[in-house]
Homo-oligomer: A and B are copies of this chain.
Amino acid sequence: MDNHDLRKAGLKVTLPRIKILQILETAEQHHMSAEDVFKKLLSSDGDVGLATVYRVLTQFESAGLVTRHNFEGGHSVFELNQGEHHDHIVCSCCGLVKEFYDDIIEEQQKHVAKKAGFEMIDHSLTIYGLCQTCANENSG
């Protein structure tokens, strides 16, 4: 239940926040830029400002509801926090994002951080490549 998540985060349950949460939940591609979310809002109703989208997404990030990623390309993308941690593999051609989780890599990172004398807080691993579709198009 959305409203519960919002309240738990200390945020008032307002229409923009509910809508944005729903968009993030139901989006087929759940890595969205602020602009993406804004466009979806426009087509659904058209009463939420872009500034609000940014504010809400930032609040959601602080509340731990979403994660912000800085993939290549200058703008941030946001993703709903559901399920376990994972990393990303992004198609450089079409922008497709797939998620993956690899135990060996996770373990090895802790190891590396310790060896470097760091207390690991977080990490961001993104593999860039060509998805099958794009690879076929380019070769054929």
Contacts and interface: CB of A to CB of B under 8 A. Distances in A.
Contact of A129 (B89, B104, B105, B119): B119
Given A70-B70, A102-B112, A105-B112, A127 B123 contact: yes
A108 interface: yes
Contacts of A105: 105, 108-109, 112
Counted per complex, copies of this chain come to: 2
In the complex, which range does the number of interface residues on chain A fall in? Answer: 35 or more
Main SS of chain A's interface residues?
mixed
A39 to B, nearest CB: 22
7 contacts: A92-B121, A104-B104, A119-B130, A119-B135, A121-B130, A123-B128, A125-B126
Contact of A120 (B104, B115, B129): B129
A41 B91 CA distance: 37
A80 B16 CA distance: 45
A100 B128 contact: no
